[in-house]
A and B are shown apart, each in its own frame.
Chain A
Amino acid sequence: MNAKTADKIATAVFYAIAGSVILILAFLLGYILISGFPKLTWQFLTTPAKAFTAGGGIGIQLFNSFYLLLLAMLISFPIALGAGIYLNEYAKQNWLTTIIRTAIEILSSLPSVVVGLFGFLLFVVHMKMGFSILSGALALTFFNLPLLTRSIEGSLAAIPNLQREAGLALGLSRWETVTHVILPAAVPSILTGVILSAGRVFGEAAALIYTSGQSAPALNFGDWNPFNISSPLNPMRPAETLAVHIWKINSEGIMPDASAVSAGSSAVLVLAVLLFNFLARWLGRRLYHRLTSATN
């Protein structure tokens, strides 16, 4: 076999591999969207779930997912921002920085179930917070922190040093340079990172089954006082999210239309991830044009 035949065979093999991967991926997306699409009615998205009879919706789970996402982001964003700023603007190359970087890397590669178990032990058991949105949000914070920190650090690192020098040359302190010069310039890419990590948090389930719990008590959507037990805003109530719901109804199997409900829920999750992705790209580009004087 000469080199040219080998080249042709190899090219054909690569086409075959890429083709089969495309088929697998297309089947995956197609299956989720096609089997879930008929379920996506307003009624399905807004009514509460039913445990033993068919026809339940995912209203409460959907709300819980968004509320948990919001809380987790509110907690993790300031921490990740601070950590990212310190790592990129202040940290010197020494043993402490090396240890912290290693720790962040380890945290980001921990299995999410371990993070969830830690949250369960610390918040649910030791701090007696019970299965609650707050426990879940804190567990999700741990899960989210390393990635968000690294993405923010990357966004800051992409700002050219000229900007820092300009700020310092104007007599600003380093902190003022960061808050008034570097951060505004980095907003678009920070935002992209935040939205992408939101997509990840939105679909996370393993870290939540033992922190925010596997039950979704009925909510009274007319009551917005966060201290009432049936209020949607109460952070101390147990809250099953959409992703946990899919797992729960499939592994327990008492709901008669479990597979239809999971198909619908999966489609919602995937559409949400899609939406987060597009939003990140679109908003990032849009903001970049607004905040800098870049032209199309």
Chain B
Amino acid sequence: MDKIKEKLQQTSQATRSERRGRFISFLALILILVVVIAIFWFVAAKGLATFFQNHISVWDFLSGRTWDPSVKGANGKPEVGALPMIVGSFLITLLSALVATPFAIGTAVFMNEIAPRNGAKILQPVTELLVGIPSVVYGFIGLSVVVPFVRHVFGGSGFGILSGTFVLFVMILPTVTSMTADTLKSVPRYYREASLALGATRWQTIHKVVLRAATPGILTAIVFGMARAFGEALAVQMVVGNATLLPHNLVSPSSTLTSVLTEGIGNTVMGSLQNNALWSLALVLLIMSLFFNVIIRIIGRKGELR
């Protein structure tokens, strides 16, 4: 009797495997969370050391114009002005997004509204393929095509913000285009039908109905492209010239947060001020990436309400 009772009260094989499976898959999920927290913890700890250990003021760091951490400046503190890189990063990001946006929207509209058949057959697979092209390939093409072109047309060395903008424009174009196309696709068909039934032309339908309805999605696509441009390292580093100076004009050699990071981290000693200052740049990069995330969320929430 007791044996049967015992057997019935025991957890079954299935329950045990259920618990084990659930626990293991939960661990996998928690691992991702731990990784994200660890990334923030490590980068913040390293990046804040510049301010707490080396006593550089945050304002000097953000607004200083000279980046030369191994040299002491006029006030007796090392020269760690990150303004040139911050300006470089923002300038390249904004310019490339500014150039890419009309092209991306135009192409997406063309794919969806004007020539859907050819668009789906040719443009869509090609843009999806280009999203996957490695960034170093873009950098290499920038180096061998864009830089000589800029040098030829605008003079100077060819390295600079303008070349970086061209490279990033081509790089984020497929991303922004395919995201915009997805948004346009999700605009209900009867919106267009209603507009056309009212006697609107195709162009009126596109810019008064379709683009209006898709605005939140398009904005998300643009911010997404900007986030990608801001964080891109190697392709930019190859064409921007890497001079830590405030850009005089679009064709003077300059630098971005990512380009200084990729070049410098290997040449400095862990724990030194030169190294900590670089980690502060990484922290700025991290905070900006968070910022882009927040913007995307806000746009998403506003878009939902309507």
User: Taking the complex as formed, is B170 at the interface, i.e. its CB lies under 8 A from any CB of chain A?
Assistant: yes
Check A83–B110 contact: CB distance below 8 A.
Answer: no
Q: Is the CB of A210 within 8 A of B266?
A: yes
Instruction: Kindly state whether residue B293 has any CB partner on chain A within 8 Å.
Output: yes
Q: Which single member of B14, B144, B289 contacts A109 (CB below 8 Å)? A: B289
Tally of A-B residue pairs with Cβ under 8 A?
262
Q: In the bound complex, do residue B292 and residue A109 qualify as a contact, i.e. CB atoms below 8 Å apart?
A: yes
Contact check, B46 vs A121: say whether CB atoms are below 8 A apart: yes
Residues of chain A within 8 A of B29, CB atoms compared: 82-83, 86-87, 91, 100
Interface string of B273-293 (1 = CB under 8 A from A): 000000100100110011011
Given contacts A10-B206, A90-B26, A206-B232, 6 further A-B contacts (CB under 8 A): A18-B114, A24-B173, A91-B29, A111-B230, A118-B38, A269-B137
Task: Enumerate chain B interface residues (CB-CB to A < 8 A).
Answer: 14-15, 17-18, 20-22, 24-33, 35-39, 42-43, 46, 102-103, 106-107, 109-111, 114-115, 119, 122-123, 126-130, 132-137, 139-141, 143-145, 170, 173-174, 177, 200-204, 206-207, 224, 227, 230-234, 237-238, 258, 261-262, 265-266, 270, 279, 282, 285-286, 289-290, 292-293
Known: A111-B285, A175-B18, A179-B21. A103 touches B33 (CB 8 A): yes
Task: Indicate if the CB atoms of B289 and A106 lie closer than 8 Å.
Answer: yes
Pick the contact of A110: B17, B129, B207, B286 (CB < 8 A): B286
A12 and B282 CA atoms in complex are apart in Å by: 45
User: Given contacts A3-B201, A107-B36, is CB(A113)–CB(B238) below 8 Å?
Assistant: no
Once the chains bind, are A114 and B282 in contact (CB under 8 Å)? yes
Would you call A273 and B265 a contact (CB within 8 A)? no
Q: Which residues of A contact B (CB under 8 A)?
A: 3-4, 6-7, 9-11, 13-15, 17-18, 20-22, 24-25, 28-29, 31-32, 35, 78-83, 85-87, 89-91, 99-100, 103-107, 109-115, 117-118, 120-122, 125, 142, 145-146, 149, 172-176, 178-179, 196, 199-200, 202-206, 209-210, 243-244, 246-247, 250-251, 259, 262-263, 266, 269-270, 273-274, 276-277
B32 and A209: CB pair below 8 A? no
Q: B43–A114 contact, CB under 8 A?
A: yes
With CB as the reference atom, state the residue of chain B lying closest to A262.
B140
A-B contact pairs, 28 of them (CB 8 A): A17-B102, A20-B103, A21-B106, A21-B177, A24-B173, A32-B137, A82-B25, A82-B29, A83-B32, A100-B29, A104-B32, A104-B36, A106-B290, A111-B289, A112-B233, A113-B231, A114-B39, A121-B46, A203-B134, A203-B136, A206-B135, A206-B232, A206-B258, A206-B262, A210-B266, A247-B234, A250-B139, A270-B137
**For the complex, would chain B's binding face be called helix, strand, loop or mixed by DSSP majority?**
helix
A142–B107 Cα gap in the complex (Å)?
33
Is A111 a contact partner of B39 (Cβ separation < 8 A)? no
**With contact pairs A11-B202, A79-B31, A203-B135 given, residues A110 and B289 touching in the complex (Cβ less than 8 Å):** yes
Rounded to whole angstroms, the CA-CA distance of A122 and B290 in the bound complex is 21
CB distance from B33 to the nearest CB of A (A): 5
Q: Are B15 and A173 in contact (CB under 8 A)?
A: yes
Whether the pair B136, A247 counts as a contact (CB closer than 8 A) is yes
Q: Select from chain A the residue with minimum beta-carbon distance to B127.
A: A25
Chain A residues, Cβ within 8 Å of B266: 209-210
CB pair A81–B234 under 8 Å, yes or no, is no
State the majority secondary structure of interface residues on A: helix
User: B230 to nearest A CB, angstroms?
Assistant: 7
Query: From B45, which residue of chain A is reached at the shortest CB distance?
Result: A121
A100 to B18 Cα, complex, angstroms: 22
Given A31-B145, A32-B141, do A7 and B203 touch, yes or no (CB 8 Å)? yes
Q: Which of A15, A17, A174 has the most CB of B within 10 A?
A: A17
Bound-state CA distance A4–B233 (Å) is 47
A228–chain B nearest beta-carbon distance, Å: 27
User: Distance in Å from the Cβ of A75 to the closest Cβ of chain B?
Assistant: 11
Instruction: A11 to B21: give the CA distance in the assembly, Å.
Output: 56
A173 touches B18 (CB 8 A): yes
Q: How far is the CB of B61 from chain A (nearest CB, A)?
A: 18
| B30 → A minimal CB distance (Å) | 8
A198 to chain B, nearest CB (A): 10
Set A91, A111, A172, A200: member contacting B231, Cβ < 8 A: A111
A18 touches B123 (CB 8 A): yes
Q: Is the CB of A21 within 8 A of B103?
A: yes
- A99 B33 Cβ-Cβ under 8 A: yes
Residues of the B chain whose Cβ atoms lie less than 8 Å from the Cβ of A11: 114, 202-203
Q: Which of B20, B109, B136, B282 contacts A243 (CB 8 A)?
A: B136
Q: A99-B33, A107-B35 are in contact. Are A114 and B135 (CB under 8 A)?
A: no
Question: Which chain A residues lie closer than 8 Å to B265 at the CB level?
Answer: 117, 120, 210
Contact of A273 among B134, B177, B261, B270 (CB under 8 A): B134
Using Cβ atoms and an 8 Å threshold, which residues of chain A touch B130?
Answer: 25, 28-29
Complex interface: chain A residues within 8 A of B270 (CB): 125
Leading 3 A-B pairs by shortest Cβ distance: A203-B134, A111-B231, A82-B28
